[in-house]
Structure 1
Amino acid sequence: MEADLAALGQRLKARRQACRMSLDGVSRETGVSKAMLGQIERGESVPTVATLWKIASGLRVPMSYFLAPGLTPASRSSTPWHHDASGMTVLPLFAFDPGLGFEMFVIDLPQGTFSESPAHAAGIVEHVVVIEGAMELAIEGQWHRLETGDAMRFAADRPHAYRNLDAARARIHDLIHYPAGM
């Protein structure tokens, strides 16, 4: 995981520099503290999925920018999962494709997982498909139970949350669609 933390930090720093922003500027755009951003850049802190979303939204890049640089079918199986404190793990399945406007992840939600996601940029739509187990998805404060084979599409430009209250792990596919020009 250390190499992954270093790579994630390098990607954050490269994007920040490409945008000609200071850590203060990125903090203002993302709502993530300057201290936390510095720790991520130095590979000293594992950001939660929610924090990565805040950073990606604020810097106007897809989430896979941080998790799957250079992802190809040959490298996909060796691409490590991103683990966070909520228990959620995320594996990029397809990195962002600007021509198609989407990225796709496999997400595992072990028993007891609760992960809140901040609002993404305007126009982003998520498509969640449960491929194993059951989970709950909160949209605008209302919880929806989804079981194997169930799917839900929702506007992700508002806060939402994922949780697994069942004994078994839940696994989902999460396809994230970005509006044209993002």
Structure 2
Amino acid sequence: MVTTSEGGARPALVEGTAEVGARVRELRERCGLSLSELARRASVGKATLSGLESGTRNPTLDTLHAVAAALDLPLTALLGPPPGAVHGAAVEMRLLRVFDDGPVTYELYRMRIPAGLAQRSPAHHAGVTEHATVFAGVLETGPVDAPRRAGPGEHVEWAADVPHRYAALDGADVHASLLIRYPRP
């Protein structure tokens, strides 16, 4: 049985929260958006976004993904230099590499999901896809309404411009790589 953490708000362990906030403010202003408009587009509270920008709030992974999607940017545009581990409600990720390939940016992560946990993630901007290769455990992932399973040595990919989920099934931690492909708008 999966213990769900999909509604949880576990803080992201992002080093340099003030720097992340400053980058969010700079990117928001570059796009000509008010704080209220970005909060609306990202479906996050204005107070949450204000705290993020001022560096007084340690953002969740879901909040960072929502803000990045609202700005039509990859997550790493908000994080700057390679961060340490970033945690969602269940997913722990460590950025390994960013590849800029003309009209597309790729982010490669090492991902771990503790046994029995699940997480729902917000939609990315249009055209974003995710690709997971499982090394250990059984991963259930993909769109919330049509998730798929993958075990060791298997690969699964999905359109990530819809809400999607990650879950570790069968009583074992999932260890996988996650490649996120962001086309430039």
Residue identity matched to 2:53: E
* Residue 64 (1) aligns with residue 76 (2): yes
Give the gaps of 5 or more residues in structure 1: 72-78
Residue identity matched to 2:133: V
Give the gaps of 5 or more residues in structure 2: 1-12
Of 143, 150, 155, 1:151 maps to 155
Runs of 4 or more above 4 Å deviation? none
| Fraction of identical pairs, as percent | 33
Q: Within 1, Cα distance between the matches of 2:66 and 2:135?
A: 26
Q: 1:160-171 alignment to 2 at 5 Å?
A: 160-171=164-175
TM-score of the pair, normalised by structure 2: 0.82
Q: Deviations over 1:32-78 (max 9, x none)?
A: 111110121223333222221111010111011123x234xxxxxxx
* Residue 97 (1) aligns with residue 100 (2): yes
- Shift of the 2–174 alpha-carbon distance from structure 1 to 2, 3 Å rule, reads closer
Taking only aligned residues, the RMSD between alpha carbons, in angstroms, comes to: 2.1
* Residue 87 (1) aligns with residue 90 (2): yes
Q: 1:11-90 alignment to 2 at 5 Å?
A: 11-67=23-79, 69-71=80-82, 79-84=83-88, 86-90=89-93
- In structure 1, the residue matched to 2:133 is 129
Is the CA contact (8 Å cut-off) linking 1:64 and 1:96 kept in structure 2?
A: no
Q: Deviations over 1:134-164 (max 9, x none)?
A: 2211425133221111111111111110011
TM-score of the pair, normalised by structure 1: 0.83
Q: Within 1, Cα distance between the matches of 2:151 and 2:14?
A: 34
- Shift of the 2–49 alpha-carbon distance from structure 1 to 2, 3 Å rule, reads closer
- Shift of the 43–131 alpha-carbon distance from structure 1 to 2, 3 Å rule, reads farther
